[in-house]
Amino acid sequence: MATTQLLADLSAASAIADADIYYVESGGVSKKITGATLKTKILEHVVAQMASSDLAYDNSVSGLSAANVKAALDEIVTRLVALESA
């Protein structure tokens, strides 16, 4: 027989394991989600919120003039196209 525990009595998770089941409340409805799905949804959210032009890029080693990831990728593509055309 299952026992009932208060949320406050549960131990804290120290990592998100793919097979673990996490219980959430969404809009007043109790739901469950696997660790794998939770990690995927978090990553999707982060990627959707962050454009490559928002990511700082350290150009001190590469010799590129770009200051963000998007500009660095654009600069690399431009250089590759120039090499292919030469």
| Number of helices (H), then strands (E), in the chain | 2, 2
CA distances from 20 to 26, 27, 28, 73, 82 (A): 19, 22, 22, 37, 50
Predicted confidence at residue 44, as pLDDT, reads 86
- The pLDDT score that the predictor gives to residue 56 is 82
pLDDT along the chain (86 residues), means of 10: 78 87 89 92 82 81 89 90 81
Sequence ranges of the domains in the chain: 1-49, 52-86
